[in-house]
Amino acid sequence: VIPLSLQRRVEGLLQEHVDRIHLALGKARDKLEENANVEHIEDLVPRENPDSLVDASVMERVLQRRSLRLRNVQRAWQESPEGTKMLNFRKSLPAYKEKDMLLSAIARNQVVVISGETGCGKTTQLPQYILESEIESGRGAFCNIICTQPRRISAMSVAERVSAERGEDPGESVGYKVRLEGMKGKNTHLLFCTSGILLRRLLSDRNLNGVTHVFVDEIHERGMNEDFLLIVLKDLLPRRRDLRLILMSATLNAELFSGFFNGAPTIHIPGFTYPVRAQFLEDILEITGYKLSSVNQIDNYGQEKLWKTQRQLLPRKRKNQINTLVEDALSKSSFERYSSRTRDSLASWSPDCIGFNLIEAVLCHICRKERPGAVLVFMTGWDDISCLKDQLKAHPLLGDPNRVLVLTCHGSMATSEQKLIFEKPPPNIRKIVLATNMAEASITINDIVFVVDCGKAKETTYDALNNTPCLLPSWISQASARQRRGRAGRVQPGECYHLYPRCVYDAFAEYQLPELLRTPLNSLCLQIKSLQLDSIGEFLSAALQPPEPLAVQNAIDFLKVIEALDEKENLTNLGQYLSMLPVDPKLGKMLIMGAVFRCLDPILTIVSGLSVRDPFLLPQDKKDLAGSAKSRFSAKDYSDHMALVRAYEGWKDADREGSAYEYCWRNFLSSQALQAIHSLRKQFNFILKDAGLIDADPGINNSLSHNQPLVRAIICSGLFPGISSVVHREKSMSFKTMEDGQVLLYANSVNSRYQTIPYPWLVFGEKVKVNTVFIRDSTGVSDSILILFGGILTHGASAGQLKMLDGFIDFFMNPSLAECYWNLKFELDKLIQKK
Ligand code: CDP
Ligand code: MG
């Protein structure tokens, strides 16, 4: 029995601790808001702060002078030989013919919807036409054009391209801004940014003051941020009658958007793509002579699903009958017979064991038999891309660097690699680009003549009923398949190889489901709250296609649990702070806790690691070796997160000794991912410093970094309520979460390698449903940590709860934790006094 006096003391301490964290956060928030405003004015509206100039006419004169300068620079470039050459290229794009019509439509209407084939010049030309015409008319410095992109890499590469077309470097008249990175200057009047950046700007500047034109690009993708932006912008338009909104889309569902904006005019830019011949699996088997001889030899890619599900659907059929079935499936009638049930089971396919022989056969065919031209292969994700790349290396023809150049294109690639994709290969070398669906619409590689389409893309879906996100490669839509095919017809007639039967294509959905309907809405709801819009539910019901009320409720509940919202759904200090950090709310909370509790370094590494790709590689054929390499980093920590910290520290040491490459190779680590973590860490550090949450002296920020139980507690505070219990029964061990019942650990988790885990709980950041629910990275925590750090900020722990937990006494009797607690009080006192 816990003495009452001790209980009271603990409660008192907790309350104090809670109050102080709140105070610190409140102050930090004010500072962040202040900075945010300053930053935004410079950021997106690059001119002097109008308030600093007493006289408006002075401002006017400054801008006029700048406008003249802009015009001189522009004219000089256009008259130069390179400028003329560039202009001639630009005139060859289909958008050019419509230029005057487009400009006048934009001048006459507040909203215009524009569609046109990928590559016709929407992204690079339209915003540029406005910029040029404003500059030419002598008003260049008065216009501020923003063009949003769904992905950071497209924002950057487009800005680079448009700058080059204007004979400049990014950051002059054209710039970009993406999460944690940007290139913009005083004279930047056309800014490419991600849609997330524009949303963040709207948080502190509801009216988009100073912005004259907003382009929302790639709206056909129906990304969550784009859909969200459209609601907010629709609300803004009546307040900013002078603001122009231009929506751009590659495919022709313009009516949907036009309807949303009360019948805004739609303009289609007629394309100039060459015809592309579509070949489906049945044709491909014929052309390549590839034999589907036995089930074991059938490639998993593309057609695998179909066969596999048929096998599942017909368990009693003997194996040797399946071959007939396979051939049978190539005829439409038989596919239809299975298709309704097949489609359900398609969702449960996992890309774990993929063979690429069919793709290899197609590539060989192209290299041997076809005319020159680059090849673009659409695959589902980075793992597949790197596996296939490895397989091709070993191929006598495709692996020969004198004949074939294999490049990759995916979201997290380095900028240097990105440039290579656009470059012409040396003569007589065939360029093959392995890409995710990123290359579908937002990136244009000019010399593509052949496209290989596996028919799938990794798509997150969201199961609101079980509140579980799922990440599955699923069949793309017909619109996507057409889009992929179109990539082959940029410079001459092309060929597209679809690695699935035509009847499968016919069964595809027409368009993809909007992201808003297939992702958890946590971050989004937090942003809606901080925009102080109506109630979250009401706001989202104004969307093009509103999400289910249950999905919204789940998000609100989640935000309450992590204490970003209070009981009345008002934003807490923590919530306001989190809405401004450019990370997932959970990770944001972990960062703040790491800063406040003075164990910054390990937490920076963990948060950065969780926001980029996992640095622990898992090659198909060396899973076991890779797994044991990873568990070497975990010692007796029972924590994937700590393993990450150790791996990163080791990499830094190795780097200092010049052996980073070997270190990565030996330990199955991705040096790219580690680099990314390294730079993200710096950026997060900067943000925290900027907010006044950490000290200039790294020693102080890390005074408790060595305290392992504390680091564990901070991990718990960020990942809560992602928690599963560890159930030991006899010799086996299983894991359960409240919502899902039994769950499994990812094979690559260090915790999957232990016979027993001496902690009653595992906290995890992410769970994914692939048949069963899997939890990814996890860390073992004790009862007391869970109660003290799982959602402590406002509730603390009630006496009743504490009483139930034997562990809590240990917590305060444990000298190192008690010490850290007192240290914390001390550090917080200092932090607050400094304000
Ligand atoms: O946005 P949309 O798909 O309509 O086309 P775009 O991105 O504006 O590209 C127009 C043209 O510019 C492409 O057809 C390419 O020829 C060229 N371009 C390029 O050469 N390099 C880039 N990084 C982007 C575009
Ligand atoms: Mg575009």
Among candidate residues 123, 139, 104, the one with its CA nearest the CA of residue 212:
139
What digits encode the pLDDT tens for the residues 131-152? 999 999 999 999 999 999 988 8
State the pLDDT confidence band at 765, using cuts at 50, 70 and 90. confident
- How many Å lie between the centroid of ligand 2 and the Cα of residue 441? 7
Tell me the residue type at 783. Answer: D
Taken in order 342, 345, 351, 355, the sign of the CA dihedral is negative
More reliable by pLDDT, 164 or 25: 164
Backbone angles phi, psi at 731, to 5 degrees: -100, -5
Q: How far is the CA of 452 from the centre of ligand 1 (A)?
A: 21
Decide whether any atom of ligand 1 lies within 6 Å of the 483 Cβ.
Answer: no
- Residue 757 structure tokens: 């885990």
pLDDT at 321: 40
- 628-643: pLDDT as tens digits: 899 899 888 899 999 9
53 has a pLDDT exceeding 50: no
Region 760-767: what's the mean pLDDT? 88
489 lines ligand 1 (CB under 6 A): no
CB-based contact 150:195 (threshold 8 Å): yes
554 lines ligand 1 (CB under 6 A): no
Q: Are 301 and 356 in contact (CB under 8 A)?
A: yes
CA distance 593 to 693: 10
Per-residue pLDDT band for 414 (boundaries 50, 70, 90) equals low
Please give the structure tokens belonging to residue 228: 């969200």
Ligand 1 contact via 421 beta carbon (within 6 Å): no
Give CA–CA dist 47/50, Å, rounded.
8
- Measured from the CB, is residue 430 less than 6 Å from ligand 1? no
User: Residue 411: which pLDDT band, with cuts at 50, 70 and 90?
Assistant: low
Q: Is the CB of 125 under 6 A from ligand 1?
A: yes
According to DSSP, the β-strands at 276-279 and 494-498 are parallel
Residue 534 per-residue DSSP state? S
pLDDT band at 100 (very low <50, low <70, confident <90, very high): very high
Index of the ligand 1 atom closest to the CA of residue 248: 1
Share of the chain above pLDDT 90, in %: 34
Residue nearest to atom 25 of ligand 1 (CA): 444
| pLDDT confidence of residue 328 | 44
**Residue 706 pLDDT more than 70?**
yes
Q: Report d(CA 163, CA 151) in Å as an integer.
A: 18
pLDDT level of residue 50 (50, 70, 90 thresholds): very low
Half-sphere exposure of 769 (CA within 13 A, CB side): 19
Cβ of residue 444 lying under 6 Å from some atom of ligand 1: yes
How much distance in Å is there from the Cα of 508 to the middle of ligand 2?
24
Q: Is 426 exposed, middle or buried (0-12, 13-18, 19+ CB in 10 A)?
A: exposed
Q: What is the pLDDT of residue 27?
A: 65
Separation of CA 90 and ligand 1 centre (Å): 9
At 246 the pLDDT is: 97
| pLDDT at residue 162, rounded to an integer | 97
**Ligand 1 atom closest to Cα of residue 442:** 3
User: Is residue 116 in contact with ligand 1, taking CB distance under 6 Å?
Assistant: yes
User: Which bound ligand lies closest to the C-alpha atom of 220?
Assistant: 2
Helix (H) or strand (E) segment spanning residue 432: strand 430-435
What is the position in ligand 1's atom list of the atom closest to the CA of 116?
A: 4
Position 723 scores a pLDDT of 87
| Ligand 1 binding pocket includes 121 (Cβ within 6 Å) | yes
pLDDT for the residue numbered 25? 66
From the list 59, 62, 40, the residue with the least C-alpha distance to 51 is: 59
Dump pLDDT digits (tens) for 518-531. 888 888 899 888 87
For residue 506, name the pLDDT band (cuts at 50, 70, 90). Answer: confident
Q: What is the predicted pLDDT for the residue at 489?
A: 87
Residue 800 structure tokens? 């009743």
Please identify, by atom number, the ligand 1 atom nearest to the C-alpha of residue 441: 3
Specify the residue with its C-alpha closest to ligand 1, atom 23: 161
Choice among 198-202, 289-293, 533-537, 730-734 with the minimum mean pLDDT: 289-293
Average pLDDT, the chain: 79
- pTM exceeding 0.95: no
SS (H, E, C) 544-568: CCCCCHHHHHHHHHHHHHCCCECCC
Which tokens in the block code for residue 235? 């609300």
pLDDT at 442: 67
Q: Higher confidence at residue 356 or residue 156?
A: 156
- Strand runs labelled E in 250-371: 266-269, 276-279
Note the pLDDT of residue 704: 81
Check pocket membership of 487 for ligand 1, CB cut-off 6 A: no
Q: DSSP for 488-513?
A: GGSSS-EEEEESS-HHHHHHS-SSPP
* pLDDT at residue 240 tops 90: yes
- pLDDT tens for 168-222 read 999 999 999 987 778 998 889 999 999 989 988 887 788 999 999 999 999 988 8
Give 186's contacts (C-beta < 8 A, 6+ positions apart): 46, 47
* Amino acid 273: pLDDT: 74
Predicted confidence (pLDDT) at residue 276 exceeds the cutoff of 70: yes
Please indicate whether residue 446, judged by its CB atom, sits closer than 6 Å to ligand 1.
yes
Confidence of residue 626 (pLDDT cuts 50, 70, 90): confident
DSSP-based three-state secondary structure for 159: helix
Indicate left, alpha or beta for 749 from its phi (over 0: left) and psi (-120 to 50: alpha).
Answer: beta
Ligand 1 center–CA 120 separation, angstroms: 7
Report ipTM (2 d.p.): 0.99
Question: What is the C-alpha to C-alpha distance for residues 656 and 677, in angstroms, rounded to an integer?
Answer: 17
Contact 413 CB / ligand 1 (< 6 Å): no
Query: Which ranges in 767-814 belong to alpha helices (H)?
Result: 783-789, 799-804, 807-813
> Is the distance from the beta carbon of residue 84 to the nearest atom of ligand 1 less than 6 Å?
no
Q: pLDDT digits over 293-329, tens only? A: 433 333 334 344 444 433 333 333 333 343 344 444 4
Ligand 1 mean position, distance from CA 121 (Å): 6
Classify 210 in phi/psi space as left (phi over 0), alpha (psi -120 to 50) or beta: left
Percent of the chain with pLDDT over 70: 76
The residue-averaged pLDDT of 771-800 equals: 69
β pairing state of 190-194 and 174-178: parallel
Best residue among 124, 409, 448, 484 to mutate for probing ligand 1's pocket (most ligand atoms within 8 Å of CB) is 124
pLDDT exceeds cutoff 90 at 715: yes
Q: Which of 30-34, 345-349, 830-834 has the highest mean pLDDT?
A: 30-34
- What pLDDT does residue 641 have? 96
Q: In 3D, which of 375, 353, 335 has the Cα closest to residue 497?
A: 375
Cβ(161) – ligand 1 distance below 6 Å = yes
What per-residue confidence (pLDDT) applies to 341? 36
**331 — pLDDT class (breaks 50, 70, 90):** very low
pLDDT of amino acid 31: 61
Residue whose Cα lies nearest atom 2 of ligand 1: it is: 119
Q: How many other CB atoms sit within 10 Å of the CB of residue 600?
A: 27
CB 456 within 8 A of CB 473: yes
DSSP string, 626-678: HHHHHHHTTTT--BHHHHHHHHHHHHHHHHHTT-HHHHHHHHTB-HHHHHHHH
